[in-house]
Chains A and B, each alone.
Chain A
Amino acid sequence: MREFEYCRARSVDEVLRWLRDGTDSKLLAGGQSLLGAMKLGLMAPERLIDLQGLAELRGCAATAGGELQLGAMQSHASLARHALLRGLVPGLARLASHIADEQVRSQGTLGGSLANADPAACWPAGMLALGATLVTDRRELPADEFFTGFFSTALEPDELLCSVRLRRPRRFAYAKFEQAASRFALVGVALAQFDDGAVRVALTGGAHGVQRLPAFEQALGQRFAAEALQGLKVDAALMSSDVHGEADYRAHLAGVLAARVVQDALTLEST
């Protein structure tokens, strides 16, 4: 790794000042994706701004409006165990508990995963299916606008993701077919059903970053059962081919997982 300046931020204002002073800076959350990229030389920032000291980026609590607010700097492991999250959206705590392994989960953060927007990551699919709101230092973005493609988000270069807000779904579930070595999703499907019957389905592991599956949403909105998906296919053009699997195999897998996740949602109901 090339040498860089290291700063530990004491306030959001300080983060923003450093991001804007002309030095090529990168935010450091858990480092579980960023350090790997820097070791490979894919990134060589002049400065890392460590967010670990910012208490305002932590927390997991219900808001006055009855939504759930999760701080960007909450680790995957802390959310996997969080009693409130497990009670309100058990499928989301379960998603967190299946990311990587405990060591990576104890360092890696919700905000880091969302800002990184790895096309095989788990949180982006969960938040897109839940129609979450991503709260930054300057605005609120619906998940539909936040994720803009392969490792790409709507965040400005000097913008800080602070928290995520979501309304409680009637049901939520996520299933992934794991890549054996890393446990990243070869393909993953997240599904949320809301009290008004509306359904949102998000696919991860695709070629273009996380995305919704509108035909699946419509079918499940009419009838929330695995059989409702019969005859529906995921377009192989959405998927990529590599050593881990061909696009048509992945597309088939996505269909299988979608049916499975409906079943999971029916058993793993929000309490």
Chain B
Amino acid sequence: MLEFRVNGRPCRLELGNASLLVDALREPLGLTGTHQGCDTAQCGACTVLLNGRAVKSCNVLARQAEGADVGTIEGLAAPGEWHALQLAFSRHHALQCGFCTPGMLMRALAMKAEGVPPEPAAVRQALAGNLCRCTGYEGIVAAICEWLGAEHA
């Protein structure tokens, strides 16, 4: 029996030890906002927060998250509401197909705690583990810079 908290809610799951964190989130919990792109720790689409740190959930065992706090895209805002970061992505047209977007948002969230400054070069470097095949990154970087620089966020 695996116990951890997902978006603040305690969860108990019956899972094989070989299950990856991304599988635990998507299958039994139905949190399919966490995407699985490459399954080799390269693309960042599966990025979630593990005790506040951004990790690639395709490269972490669910058991490694035992007792931890996991944050996924579903926990970003209450249903029908939007997080300031999501609004910034919308304003800057920071997505096209949207496949990479949950990973981008979760990665960006952790940047604040890391003290990444709201500057394009720094944000690009901090975003090195997240690939987008559509946008060319301009809007993504602009949206994250705006959010990191905003007082209220």
Partner-B contacts on A (CB < 8 A) = 1-6, 8, 28, 31-32, 35-36, 39, 48, 50, 52, 77, 81, 100-104, 106-107, 181-183
Contact = CB atoms under 8 A, between A and B. Distances in A.
Contacts of B126: 102
Which of A32, A77, A100, A103 has the most B CB atoms < 10 Å from its CB? A103
Contact of B129 (A2, A4, A81, A102): A102
A231 B35 CA distance: 52
Interface residues of B, number: 28
30 contacts: A3-B16, A6-B17, A6-B61, A8-B63, A28-B64, A31-B60, A32-B59, A36-B40, A36-B41, A36-B59, A48-B61, A81-B114, A101-B128, A102-B54, A102-B107, A102-B128, A103-B47, A103-B54, A103-B55, A104-B41, A104-B59, A106-B50, A106-B54, A106-B55, A107-B50, A107-B53, A107-B55, A107-B56, A107-B60, A183-B128
Interface string B1-40: 0000000000000001110100000000000000000011
Nearest to B66: A8
A48 B107 CA distance: 28
Contacts of B114: 81, 102
Given A103-B54, A103-B55, A2 B42 contact: no
Nearest to B54: A103
B132 to A, nearest CB: 14
Contact of B59 (A28, A35, A181): A35
Contacts of B50: 106-107
B53 A50 contact: no
Contacts of A103: 41, 44, 47, 54-56, 107, 129
A6 B63 contact: yes
Contacts, number: 74
Nearest to B129: A101
Interface of B: 16-18, 20, 39-42, 44, 47, 50, 53-56, 59-61, 63-64, 66, 107, 110, 114, 126, 128-130
Given A4-B17, A6-B17, A35 B61 contact: yes
B55 A181 contact: no
Contacts of B56: 103-104, 107
Nearest to B17: A6
B68 to A, nearest CB: 10
